[in-house]
Amino acid sequence: MWPCKELVNGGRGYSMVHFLYLNSGGGMTRDDHVYLFTRLLAIFIIPFLIVAAIILTLLFERTGELFAWPIKSPMTAMMLGAAYLGGVYFFARVAAAKQWHTIKVGFPPVIVFASLLGLATFLHWDRFTRDHISFFTWTALYVTTPFLVFGTWWFNRRTDPRTPEAAEVIIPIGLRWLLGFVGALTLIISLLLFLFPSAMIAVWPWTLTPLTARVAGAMFALPGLVGLDIALDQRWSAARIILQAQAFSIGLILIAALRSWNDFNPANIVTWFFVGGLSGLLIGIIGLSVLMERRKA
**For position 15, what pLDDT does the model report?**
46
pTM of the shown model: 0.88
**For position 28, what pLDDT does the model report?**
57
Query: Does 3 have pLDDT greater than 50?
Result: no
Query: Does 10 have pLDDT greater than 70?
Result: no
State how far the alpha carbon of 129 is from the alpha carbons of 57, 83, 135, 215, 216, in Å.
Answer: 19, 22, 6, 16, 19
**For position 297, what pLDDT does the model report?**
65
* 89-137 per-position pLDDT tens digit: 999 999 999 999 999 999 999 999 999 999 999 999 999 999 999 999 9
* 252-290 per-position pLDDT tens digit: 999 999 999 999 999 999 999 999 999 999 999 999 999
